[in-house]
């Protein structure tokens, strides 16, 4: 990517619609590894004023037990 492309935001999410005050957009974050890979694990929220919120939807750890026959 050259300097011009970087400056105009090539490869970055479009922010054109965020020019209106008070608007925001939610971008899903896809899990990259493990059994949940490929699923949405949370999201980023882009606000019109440049703020970005990050929201993690944390997975639970489930410990289970089993019985072993003799």
Partner 1 sequence: MAFPSSGLFVPTFVDVLDTTQLALDLDLETHRVALFTNSVTGADLTTDTAYGVGAWASNEVANGSGYTTGGAALTGTTWQHVSGGTVRFDATDSSWTTASFTARGCLIYADALAGNNAICAITFGADYTATSGTFSVVWNASGIFTVDFVP
Minimum gap (Å) between residue 29 Cβ and partner 1:
5
Residues forming beta bridges with residue 25, ordered by sequence position: 46
- From 45, 29, 49, select the one nearest 37 (Cα to Cα): 29
Of the ranges 4-12, 14-22, 59-67, which one interacts with partner 1 (CB under 8 A)? 59-67
* Distances, alpha carbon 49 to alpha carbons 4, 18, 27, 70, in Å: 23, 8, 16, 65
Does 45 interact with partner 1 (rule: CB under 8 A)?
yes
Residues forming beta bridges with residue 27, ordered by sequence position: 44
Does 44 interact with partner 1 (rule: CB under 8 A)?
yes
Minimum gap (Å) between residue 20 Cβ and partner 1:
18
Site of interaction with partner 1 (CB under 8 A) = 29-34, 36-37, 41-42, 44-45, 47, 50-67
């Amino acid at each position: 990517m050259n300097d011009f492309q970087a400056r105009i935001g090539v490869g970055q999410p479009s922010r054109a619609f965020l020019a209106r005050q008070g608007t925001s957009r939610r971008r899903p974050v896809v899990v990259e590894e493990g059994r949940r890979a490929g699923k949405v694990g949370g999201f980023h929220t882009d606000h019109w004023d440049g703020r970005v919120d990050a929201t993690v939807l944390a997975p639970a750890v489930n410990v289970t037990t089993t019985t072993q026959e003799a």
